Structure 1
Amino acid sequence: MRETTIKSVSDGVRLDGDVEGTPWSEANRIDVDQFNWHRDGPKPSLTARILYDDDALYLQFHVEDHNISSLVTDLNGPTYRDSSVELFADPNPNEDSRYFNFEANCCGYFKLAWQEKGWQERDIGRDLVSASVAERVRVETSIEGPTREPRDDDEGWWLAAALPFSVLRSLTGIDIDPDSDTVWRGNVYRSGVPSDEQKATWNPMPTQVPAYHSPTYFGRFTFD
C-alpha cells in the first residue's frame, strides 16, 4: 500500500499551475503511474499534490495529454468521459467504507459525490453535491471552456481546486476537520483517456478490468 503525507499551510494557496516558489513546492508529489491494465502504447504522466489548512483541502494536478477533450458542462455529469482527473477519499476508514469522489474535467466542470462501496456504476449508492453547496468549491484550469476539442499541438493541462471542509461536511454528514496524524484512505486516478491501457492510478489496483470504485485498493493519506 502506498502512503503519502498531506502537509498543512497557513498562508493560503493560489489555485494555479505554478509549483516552484509557491506552497505547492512543499507538497509531496503524488505520481499516478500505476498502469494496471497496460499492454502496450504510451503511458501519459499525471502528478498530483495535496495541501490543507483549517478551511479546505487543496488539489493540484499536472496532466500530460495529447488528446485534450471535454464535452460535459453539467454539475455532477459524466466528467470521467472527458479528459479528467479523480480523487477518491475515505475520511472515516475505521468505521465505514463510504468515500467522497471529486472528479473534474479539463475545463473545470466536476462531480462531487458521497458514495458507498461498489465497483460497478449500477452498484453504487451515492449522494451528489447540490448546486448551492457546489458553488463554494473553487476550480481553476489551464484549459478555456466551456468545451474543448482535441488539437494537433495538445501536450497537457493543469487543474487546481479547493474543496472546503464545510462542503465536505454538508455532503457527508460527518465531521471532517483533519489535523496532525489524521489518516484517510484514498486513491488518485487518470480517466478520460483513449483506452483502458492508458488509465492510471496512484495506488496499484490488481483488478482484471478498471474498477476505480474499489476501496480495498485505497492507499493512505496521513495529515501532518
Structure 2
Amino acid sequence: MNFLRVPYLNGIDQHTSLRDISGILDKAPRQQLVYVPWADFPYRPEVLFSIAHGCDAVFIKYFVKEKTVRAVNNTLNSPVYKDSCVEFFIGFGNEPAYYNFEFNCIGTHLIGYGANNTDRTLLPNEISQQVKYKSELTNDQNQETIGWELTLLIPVSVFYFHNIQSINGRQCVANFYKCGDELPEPHFVTWSNIQWPQPNFHLRQFFGTLVFE
C-alpha cells in the first residue's frame, strides 16, 4: 500500500484563490498513477497529481494526458465516471465508510459517502457545491495526446458526516484514480494498487495512507 505525507501550506486556506493554489501545486512534488490492475483494460493515460492542505481545506491538482477527452456530464452528481474522470477517495479512522470525490475534466462532480460501491449516500447539494475547481485544457497540437489539468479545493466542511475543524495532523486512508468508462478505450488507473477480479475502485482495504503534516 502506498504512503504519502501531505504538506501543510502556511497562510493558505479555503479562501485563497484557485489561481494561487494552482500555481503552488504546479511547484509541488507530483505523484503518478502507475497501476493498471485489470488486464482487460490495459490503456494507461499519463496521470499525476500534487496534494497539500491548509488545515481547513485539502488542495489537489491533477495533470492528465490521454488520447481522447469526453465531457458529457455537466450537472452535479451526474455519472462523471463515464467521462474523462479523476477521483479521490478518503476515509477517516477505522470506520468502513469513506468519501468518494469524482470529477470529470470540466469539473462536474459526484460526491458520496458509504462503505462500498452499492452503499453510497450522495452529499446534499449545498455541501457538494462548496468544492471549488479550476479546469484547463493544455493540449499541444503537435502531440498525440490531449492534456488537461484540474485544481481542486475541498473544504473540510465537505466531510459532511464528520465534525472536522482541521485536518492538520490526521492520518487517513485514501486512493487516487483515473477512469473513463465510455471513452473509446475504457481504463482504470490507480495510485495504490488493487487486487480484485474485476474493476472496482470502492475497496477500502486497498487504500494507501495519507498523513497530513
Q: When the two structures are superposed, what TM-score results if normalisation uses the length of structure 1?
A: 0.81
1:156: how far off?
1.5
Amino acid at match of 1:11: G
Match of 2:204 among 203, 215, 221: 215
| Residue matched to 1:48 | 49
Contact 1:70–1:82 (8 Å) recurs in 2: yes
1:23 & 1:14 partners in 2: Cα distance? Answer: 11
Using the TM superposition, give the Cα deviation of residue 194 of structure 1 relative to its aligned residue in structure 2, in angstroms.
3.6
Match of 1:177 among 166, 171, 175: 166
- The runs of 5 or more residues in structure 2 that have no matched partner are 138-142
Letter in 2 for 1:167: V
* Aligned counterparts of 2:21 and 2:67: Cα–Cα separation in 1: 21
Is 2:190 the counterpart of 1:201? yes
What is the CA distance between 1:154 and its match in structure 2? 5.1
* 1:11 correspondence with 2:11: yes
**C-alpha RMSD of the superposition:** 2.5
* Structure 2 residue 125 is the aligned partner of structure 1 residue 131: yes
Q: Number of residues paired by the alignment?
A: 204
2:176 counterpart SS class:
strand
Asked whether the equivalents of residues 74 and 108 of structure 2 are also in contact (C-alpha less than 8 Å), the reply is yes
Q: Is the 8 A contact 1:183 1:222 kept in 2?
A: yes
1: CA distance, partners of 2:21 / 2:54: 19
Match of 2:140 in 1: none
**Is residue 62 of structure 2 the alignment partner of residue 67 of structure 1?**
no
Alpha-carbon distance change, 40 to 138 in structure 1, aligned in 2, over 3 angstroms: closer
> Counterpart of 2:158?
167
Contact 2:157–2:164 under 8 Å retained in 1: no
* Contact 2:99/2:112 (<8 A) preserved: yes
CA distance in 2, matches of 1:4, 1:33: 15
2:184 matches 1:188: no
CA shift in 2, pair 1:127/1:18, >3 Å? closer
Q: Deviations over 1:59-92 (max 9, x none)?
A: 1000112210111112111100000100000022
Q: Is the 8 A contact 1:17 1:60 kept in 2?
A: no
Per-residue deviation, residues 27-58 of structure 1 (Å, max 9, x unmatched): 44221110111368642110011110122111
Task: Name stretches of at least 5 consecutive residues in structure 1 with no aligned partner.
Answer: 144-151
Shift of 1:153: 6.6
Partner amino acid, structure 1, of 2:124: S
Is the alpha carbon distance of 1:100 and 1:18 closer, same or farther for their aligned partners in structure 2, counting shifts above 3 Å? Answer: closer
Distance in structure 2 (CA, Å) of the matches to 1:39 and 1:134: 33
Partner of 2:147: 156
For residue 26 of structure 1, report the CA deviation from its aligned partner: 5.8
Tell me the alpha carbon deviations over residues 143-195 of structure 1, each in whole angstroms, 9 at most, x when there is no partner. 4xxxxxxxx97512000110101222xx2234362223x21001000111544
Give, in whole Å, the separation in 2 of the partners of 1:15 and 1:194: 32
**Percent identity between the aligned chains?**
23
